[in-house]
Amino acid sequence: MERYTFRTVMMDVLKPIIEREIMWTFVPGNHDDDHSPWTREDLIEIYSLPFCVSAKAKTFNHTFTLGHTAEPCADSSVRIWLFDSGANSDDPKLRYTTFSAESIEGYVRMSSDPSLGPSAVGLAYFHIPLPEYEGVVPCCGKNALFDAGLAGGLVPFPFNYQPFTFLVRLLGRDLVAGCSRLNSGAFEAFSKQGNILATFCGHDHHSDFVGKRGNIYLCYGRCGGFTPPSNWEGAGGDFAFDHGARVVRVRSKEDVSTWVCTFKRDVEDFFELK
């Protein structure tokens, strides 16, 4: 691979989207610059590809407004917040790096910037789940990461044997998330600012649910990949659901909903975010 191979790959991935002139954007995950000839900073160039709504962004941590009107509207506009949730950590105990302090400070600062204009709701997107995803009981969907860990031999002794596995589930300790052991304070900042209705992440291929902690919905997006490591290269067992993608619809501040559209064109887990 060469330094800018990622550009060719992304063009292949985005080809059907670009051909249909659909606006899109991107935030990096923990594998996007793993052992690669390019740096994480190089990936910013992806924003220069056609129909990217983040074309003017200089960092993965940024925000913009979507809506049906030319100017931001308090009744129907959507404020999108994008964050780089980090890469693989050199310290295996930490698992991953996390949101930078600058990104959280920037979010807090921009939240009070009147030049952003009004919006009906705010939605945040990033790849690796926040630590606050752990222990959340799904309102719909399934947290199957613990099951995948059992199948893949990742659950330590004695919790991978009965009756300990039963006790883990009984106590709700099976509601795990593949998050960093570092807490960036992002969730606390979101809660204090009060301008984000829901967050959306990926990363945990065997989990796809909508949960809630405090006043913020914590959501996963459905795994859409068919190549490793989308299924832990087989070690995690079969998915508990069909491949697909999460859809979010905002009609007004009082009418926000989400569901999963599978590759079979079925609709699953319709849920109203109220």
Write the CATH number for 223: 3.30.750.180
Q: Is residue 54 part of a domain?
A: no
Domain that holds residue 212: 61-149+176-240
Q: Is residue 16 part of a domain?
A: no
What integer pLDDT is reported at residue 70 of this predicted model? Answer: 79
Q: How many angstroms separate the CA atoms of 87 and 180, rounded? A: 10
Q: Is residue 45 part of a domain?
A: no
Q: Is residue 135 part of a domain?
A: yes
What integer pLDDT is reported at residue 103 of this predicted model? Answer: 98
Q: Is residue 268 part of a domain?
A: no
Nearest-5° Cα angle at 123, 34 to 111: 100
Q: How many angstroms separate the CA atoms of 114 and 111, rounded? A: 8
| Alpha helix stretches (DSSP H) within the chain | 5-19, 101-111, 145-151, 164-170, 186-193
Q: Is residue 154 part of a domain?
A: no
What integer pLDDT is reported at residue 71 of this predicted model? Answer: 86
Q: How many angstroms separate the CA atoms of 195 and 93, rounded? A: 33
Q: Has this prediction a pTM greater than 0.85?
A: yes
What integer pLDDT is reported at residue 1 of this predicted model? Answer: 59
Q: Is residue 98 part of a domain?
A: yes
Give the Å distances, CA to CA, from 156 to 33, 129, 200, 229, 237: 29, 22, 29, 21, 17
Count structural domains, the chain.
Answer: 1
- Residue 64: half-sphere exposure toward Cβ, Cα within 13 Å: 16
- The pair of structure tokens assigned to 226 is 């068919």
Per-residue pLDDT of the chain (274 residues; tens, 9 = 90+): 577 788 898 999 999 999 999 999 999 999 888 888 888 999 999 999 999 999 999 999 999 999 988 788 898 999 999 999 999 999 999 999 999 999 999 999 999 998 888 999 999 999 999 999 999 999 999 999 999 999 999 999 999 999 999 999 999 999 999 999 999 999 999 999 999 999 999 999 999 999 999 999 999 999 988 877 777 767 888 888 999 999 999 999 999 999 999 999 999 999 999 8
What integer pLDDT is reported at residue 247 of this predicted model? Answer: 98
Q: How many angstroms separate the CA atoms of 232 and 245, rounded? A: 19
Q: Is residue 141 part of a domain?
A: yes
What integer pLDDT is reported at residue 85 of this predicted model? Answer: 98
What integer pLDDT is reported at residue 259 of this predicted model? Answer: 98
**Sheet containing strand 78-82, strands side by side:** 62-66, 78-82, 121-125, 198-201, 216-220, 207-213, 140-143
